[in-house]
Structure 1
Amino acid sequence: MQNPISQRPPSSYRGRFAPSPSGLLHFGSLVAALASYLQAKSLQGKWLVRIEDIDKPREMPGASEAILTTLDAYGLHWDEQVIYQSQQASLYYDVLTYLNEQNKSYYCQCTRGQIKKTGGIYLGTCKTLNLDAAGCATRLINEFPFAEFSDGIQGTVAVDKALAAEDFIIHRRDGLFAYQLAVVVDDALQGITEVVRGCDLLEPTARQLSLFKTLRLTAPNYVHVPLAVTEQGYKLSKQNAAPAINNKNPQPALIKALQFLGQNPVKDLELEPVETIINWAIQHWQLRNIPKQREIML
């Protein structure tokens, strides 16, 4: 079987925002969406939206539609048809089949509890057991570990070497596709040239780079912006029940997000329409002004 992914040839800049519909967009989501949008538009590129809805048990009913409504309300308009990962299953299966036929993966029956007892790093216990698929997860044979990579804001990012070398899961034992597999396939399919997202995904980036190389695909560049955290040190997230941003009065949150990203919006810009704020932000966007931090307390 040939590689089933027809990677879009690199052309002009193509960025993306890929939220999970496990909840509504909060301020931390806005920071990531706004940064990715402004980076794309300041470089006369395309900005795409992808809904990462492969984990149905965690999905909030109506969240996908609400996320798109919020992006529109904040002036963040996407350039091409929205892709839903839940509609990509046949392609993901083809990639899993290809990796299996190329002897780049194997089935694993180990539980999280068993791995935790051996130090939390998977040691390849099932690699030579030739297990059947039933009741097993699928792991990638990680021939290309990335213990470090270059980031557009954070500089050289080092990852724990043992974790970077781990044979990680690409298909879960419950039948769900792993995030690492889906995001790599979709970024390649959509021809994404640069990924701008939050620092909570620094560690997964190393695994995604490994999978890109295994599949002989060109990886995008990566830019990780600081996370918004509370005084208690918790990141704003859907899991931590961060409050949704206000669709009816988006200007204050937009200005706050620009300030968070070090863009120094001019006085009284908050009084302008959303489109005026976004146009100003595109014209004045400076990636180098974003604080070179992994977290910023609100």
Structure 2
Amino acid sequence: MPPPVFRFAPSPNGYLHLGHAYSALLNHDLARRAGGRLLLRIEDIDTTRCRLEFETAIVQDLAWLGLEWETPVRRQSEHLDVYRDAIEKLAAQGLVYPSFESRAEIAGLVAQREADGAWPRDPDGAPLYPGTAKLLSPGERGRLIETGAPYALRLDMAAAHARAGDLNWTEQGQGPDGETGAVTAQPQVWGDVILARKETPTSYHLSVVIDDALQGVTEVVRGQDLFWSTSVHRLLQKLLDLREPAYRHHRLVRDAAGAKLSKSTNATGLRELRAQGATPADIRRLVGLP
């Protein structure tokens, strides 16, 4: 039997913090314990926020922590054609449509819906897509695209769910509310998720399942904040005929106020802790690893 394959897949849109360190170290420890392989993947599809200096810092921080990974490192920005092919495969099944509303227009539509009562939101708290682009005729869609209008490519969730049928996964870790063992996937709670944009031919949901499959990842170990995203990932795996990895969602490292550490809130970075004299052993202690 081939060895299990783990991966750590950060986005170079900021410096790594203790939450990243915990996930990276946990993947490393589990891989070593199982006699498995550890991959590093750079998820750099967001060209407006991802920068080379952050990627360089990621590699430096991980090496400082004592991690070793296989090379070459996969960078998503170098494989956009693979994601385009997947979009075309889903489109051939009649499961993809373009929506043309701007973020501001979508916010306005949500406000209109909420004036009549509560509007559903996804597990991350974002409102589901409220537009009617799915009802546009092929001719109207083509005309709008020809005008150069920006658009997002969305998954027709109702049609996709009907095609794939009921799905589940076996949770080897624990969800945010204690979910473990057999978990029923609920992709419909995410609505018509974005698979790509005009300027970016992939999204996190799409690229992560494709990369995991192409790299032979067998063990996905990641934070509980991505627990319910697994529902969408299982759906895409089914539609694209991709192998399902094992899933283990781990606890989140939180700040003194109990909030999840985040780049957007300028959580203290590993490079800053290093500058203050912290050692790799200190980092392990801070995140609760032996």
Mark yes or no: TM-score above 0.5. Answer: yes
The reply on whether 1:153 has 2:183 as its aligned counterpart is no
Q: Partner residue of 2:247?
A: 222
Deviation at 1:219, TM superposition (A): 1.6
**Is 1:163 aligned with 2:189?**
yes
Alpha-carbon separation, structure 2, partners of 1:185 and 1:75? 28
Shift of 1:175: 3.2
Q: Counterparts of 2:258 and 2:166 in 1: how far apart (Å)?
A: 28
For 1:277, the equivalent position in structure 2 comes to none
Deviates more, 1:138-147 or 1:247-256: 138-147
* Residue 95 to residue 24, structure 1, CA distance change in 2 (3 Å): same
The partner residue of 2:54 within 42, 47, 63 is 63
Alpha-carbon contact 1:184-1:208 (below 8 Å) kept: yes
Pairwise CA distance, 1:98: 2.1
Post-superposition shift, 1:21? 0.6
Most deviating of 22-31 and 247-256? 247-256
User: How far is 1:236 from its partner?
Assistant: 0.8
Deviations along 1:208-254, whole A, 9 cap, x unmatched? 11111110111211111101112323211111111112446222112
Q: Secondary structure of 2:253's match?
A: strand
Equivalent residue for 2:152, pick from 132, 137, 154: 137
1:31-65 Cα offsets, whole Å, 9 max, x none, are 01011111112111110000011102122440101
- Equivalenced residue count is 250
Hey, what does 2:282 align to over in structure 1? 252
Query: For the residues of structure 2 that align with 1:212 and 1:13, how far apart are their CA atoms?
Result: 19
Paired AA for residue 203 in structure 1: W
Partner Cα separation in structure 2 for residue 176 and residue 17 of structure 1: 22
Task: Give SS of 2:264's match.
Answer: coil
Seen in structure 2, the aligned counterparts of structure 1 residues 161 and 96 have a Cα distance that, compared at 3 Å, is closer
Give the alignment partner of residue 39 of structure 2, picking from 33, 45, 48: 48
Counterpart of 1:200, as a letter, is: D
Q: Does 2:100 align with 1:113?
A: no
Partner of 2:123: none
Query: Are the aligned partners of 1:115 and 1:121 in contact in 2 as well (CA < 8 Å)?
Result: no
**Any conservation in 1 of the 2:167–2:235 contact (CA below 8 Å)?**
no
Would you say the 8 A contact 1:50–1:82 is kept in 2?
yes
Distance 1:65 1:161, change over 3 A: closer
Query: What RMSD, in angstroms, separates the aligned Cα atoms of the two structures?
Result: 2.4
- Which residue number corresponds to residue 16 of structure 1? 7
Q: TM-score, normalised by structure 2?
A: 0.78
Aligned mates of 1:158, 1:217 — CA distance in 2: 18
What is the rounded CA distance, in whole Å, between the counterparts of 1:114 and 1:235 in structure 2?
29
Partners of 1:137 and 1:173 within 8 A in 2: yes
Alignment TM-score, normalising by the size of structure 1: 0.76
Q: CA separation in 1, counterparts of 2:186 and 2:202?
A: 24
The correspondence of residues 1-298 of structure 1 with structure 2, limited to 5 A, is 11-111=2-102, 112-114=106-108, 116-117=110-111, 118=113, 119=119, 120-122=127-129, 125-129=132-136, 130=138, 131-132=141-142, 133=145, 134-142=149-157, 143-144=160-161, 149-154=169-174, 155-156=180-181, 162-164=188-190, 166-175=191-200, 177-245=202-270, 246-247=273-274, 249-257=279-287, 260-261=288-289, 265=290
**Distance between the aligned counterparts of 1:146 and 1:41, measured in 2?**
35
Return the alpha-carbon distance in structure 1 between the equivalents of residues 263 and 68 of structure 2: 22
- 1:18 and 1:44 map into 2 onto residues whose CA distance is 20
Q: Deviations over 1:106-128 (max 9, x none)?
A: 11224431553342223673223
SS in 2 for 1:55: coil
2:41 match: secondary structure: strand
**Displacement after TM superposition at 1:100 (Å):** 1.6
Shift of 1:205: 1.6
Pair 220,82 (structure 1): closer, same or farther in 2 beyond 3 Å = same
Q: Which runs of 5+ in 2 are unaligned?
A: 114-118, 120-126, 175-179
2:177 is aligned to none
Once the two structures are overlaid, the 10-residue window that deviates more, 234-243 or 151-160, is: 151-160
Supply the distance in 1 between the matched residues of 2:199 and 2:128 (Cα, whole angstroms): 21
Q: State whether residues 51 and 83 of structure 1, in contact with CA within 8 Å, keep that contact through their aligned partners in structure 2.
A: yes
The percent identity for this pair of structures is 34
Gaps of 5+ in 1: 1-9, 266-298
